[in-house]
Structure 1
């Protein structure tokens, strides 16, 4: 975090424009937030355990396993068991598990985002290799075009989402809320049309017209436009010369670092640089004259 703050002070506007700076700050924010949430969760767990210590006739309850559950189904089952075990206990103050469950879910979300940002950062470590860096270079090359495309996509998608929600929210369960409608529209954009039979039961003409417009504009036009932008910029990046000739290969760099950590002697790898033949010509002449002198001296003897 200190390193990123120093880079922000040093680079200023150029630091804000870099994509990897947001990835680094995402990892930092999610990590620190996860530490804070973990402390709060352990505090709530300790309070809940202390409230159950002096209650007689209560069966032992394992809260450790409950604190580290990830599966939603198992989580709800364990929560139900814990609530049932507290129902018939007299003299026990009401215990709210809602805040505890909220902290556990929030911590899981933060850990998921940390893994997400950390996995994306692997692409930066592999940027030395030309083929592995094509994805990053392509996205960087097509950033402006993709920004305009996504603005247009959001406008059209929100328009169709509002249309489907207002037409079918009272009839079809998949369109009962605005969020469910958005998820259904995303499924339809990937050619997963499982809601067509339900729409036919309402009004065949309106369903056919709305689906036809959605498939024409979103599935065919916008999807093909997105693919064409990526392919065009990929071809441009692939033809451009690679400007990392002087960088050391990642595997050699890693081996040298390991040897340094193990206090082993390492020789510095010389980077081959192109030299001008005209500047080397006098040196070559001197070497030639020395070789001729040695040869002449040997034959004379």
Structure 2
């Protein structure tokens, strides 16, 4: 019934029949409280998001330049226009980084063996 009251879909006569004085007073307090809380929450959400967007606009210009530069470099690579030496250096550096990548799954069986050995030593000690 309270949710219906906030939507203004309720029977007023039931409220008046319950208590002719206290019913409308409680109803008015409830509606003012709900409207106040909802409006405050709505305004807070709007103002917080407005502040976030305004802060993002300050930094957006630099980000846009990076995106345009990235897209321009990609087009150059696809069309084979530009600095081939630079792209080769990047590809070599990428390959070196991939070679240095350490895959933890490869060392998993060794780690399990170490764990089992340690557990055996603890059990033998006790």
Query: Rg larger in 1 or in 2?
Result: 2
**Larger relative contact order (CA 8 Å, sep ≥ 6):** 1
Q: TM-score, normalised by structure 1?
A: 0.20
TM-score, with structure 2 as normaliser = 0.43
